[in-house]
Amino acid sequence: MTIYDIPVKTLTGDDSSLASFKDEAILIVNVASKCGLTPQYEGLEELQKKYGPQGFSVVGFPCNQFAGQEPGTAEEIQTFCSTTYGVTFPLFEKIDVNGEHQSPIYKELEKVSDAEGYSGDVRWNFEKFLVAKNGSVSRFAPQVTPEDPALLIAIETALS
């Protein structure tokens, strides 16, 4: 089973999966509305606009595991993201990225090491996992912004 086969729900609660992204490069991000890193939504949306036409998508999974920084309902999250940051990329249901109720997607993703060699539990909101068209995965720490040259190079490579 791959991350594309794992059942997920959309933010509105509909059954879904990441299967529709199988031939694209995707940036999977655990997001939160009340975090010091929340302004990264703006940069994530810019990535969506810039690379979307080339077969790329940001995929957001709201998560409330870090200091309760995503307390909202699905409707509140959607409204916040669309009105505050103009988010057009897909958001899925609020999930746990660590612990006993960890999403199976994150159980797979956390095996990947970032540039500093860290693997394991997601450390904070806005940790990023780039899945290339060929299925390879790269991991980026939460503090790596969407504008970071290393992330941009990785996205461009993932699209080729």
Catalytic residue numbers, as ranges: 35
For residue 39, count CB atoms less than 10 angstroms from its CB and return exposed for 0-12, middle for 13-18, buried for 19 or more.
Answer: middle
**Phi (first) and psi of residue 150, to 5 degrees:** -65, -40
